[in-house]
Amino acid sequence: MDRDFSQELLDAIQRADRAGANAVIDAWAAGHSFPRVVPDLLSPTLETFGRLWAHGTQGASLAVGYVAAKIAEDVLSRLLLEAAAGGGPPQPAKGPVLMGNVEDDFHPLGRKMVAAFLRADGWEVHDLGVDISPAQFLDKAEETGARVIGASAMMYSTAKNVARLREEIDRRGMTGRIQLAVGGAVFKLRPELVEAFGGDGTAASAVEASALFERLWQRACTAAGEPRP
């Protein structure tokens, strides 16, 4: 009987079993080309996991999401190693996009998890770190050509700084052409704040960020009157 690798991987993630997840991936890779692991195994499994995690399925702790991000990083590291051995790292297929915690926010975990999932899904991510001012976000966006900024804030007090980032985007005449994705505990608890503070969208979980960034990237291209590259 064929093994259900996706279910096995999902089970390992839900047990927060990083070693077990990597063993499942190894077993899958024994019969497939490793570079296919992302589209054929990891992405669909993470998609299922993301739905379960976002709905707070029993046992889906924050740490389980963290382990899922670590597994995505593990896969990405192996892909980069294999690509380097083959003559050079692969070019990310999507982006560039920015990630950062807004000014006064020093809670990096969620941001790092989102960045890991985005990279695993082929995005070129510039991770700016914590306590990033609106000007820093916009300067980097102009430098890199990023069309989506992912801004993270954990608490209500710092989430207000998303509104300052919104103002800076508008002040520089980038309204629509740079889309603002927001995330963090406070937005999950109070989704109405996404719009109130000027966000263009949010995702129910870190795993679902890639789909959000896809939508926002399309919107930004449309606003700029450009076809998506």
Partner 1 sequence: MNSLERVLAALQNRPADRPAFLLNAGLYGSRLTGASLKDHYTDPAVYAEGQMAIRETFSPDLLVSPFALAGLGAAFGSRMSTPHRQPPNVAAFAAPSAEAALQLPLPDVDSHPQILYLRESIRILAKTYAGQAPVIGLLASPVDLPPLIIGLEAWLDALLFQPDTARALLHRLSPFFVDLGKAMLSDGATALALTANLANRFMVPAPVVEGLGLPSLAQALGEIPGPVILHHGGCPLLAHLADFMGLPNTVGYVVDAGEELAAARALLGPGPLLLGNLGGPTLAGLRPEEVSALCDQALAQRTTDPQFILATSGADIPLDTPPACLQAITDAVCRAGGARS
| Distance of closest approach, residue 16 Cβ to partner 1, in angstroms | 5
CB of 167 to partner 1, least distance (A): 16
Q: Residue 112 in contact with residue 68, Cβ under 8 Å?
A: no
- Shortest Å distance, C-beta 217 to partner 1: 28
94-101/148-152 β-pairing: parallel
Cβ-based nearer residue to partner 1, 150 or 184: 184
Kindly report the three-state secondary structure assignment for every residue of 27-87: HHHCCCCHHHHHHHHHHHHHHHHHHHHHCCCCCCCHHHHHHHHHHHHHHHHHHHHHHHHCC
Binding site for partner 1 (CB under 8 A): 15-16, 18, 59, 61-64, 66-67, 104, 106-109, 112, 130-131, 155-158, 185-186, 190
The per-residue b/e assignment along 105-137, b for 16 or more CB within 10 angstroms, e otherwise, is: beebebbbbbbbbbbbbbbebbbbeebbbbebb
Give me the least distance between CB of 27 and partner 1, in Å please. 21
Give least dist CB 224 to partner 1, A: 34
Closest to partner 1 by CB, 34 vs 156, is: 156
Q: Which is nearer to partner 1, 174 or 186 (CB)?
A: 186
Structure tokens at 46: 């993470």
Residue showing tokens 């890199």: 144
* Nearest-approach distance from CB 129 to partner 1, in angstroms: 11
**Residue number, 7 or 157, with CB nearest to partner 1:** 157
Nearer to partner 1, 65 or 201 (CB): 65
Distance from C-alpha of 70 to C-alpha of 114, rounded to nearest angstrom: 11
Nearest to 117 by CA among 221, 212, 228, 22: 212
Alpha carbons 70 and 39: distance in angstroms, whole number: 17
Cβ nearer to partner 1, comparing 40 with 131: 131
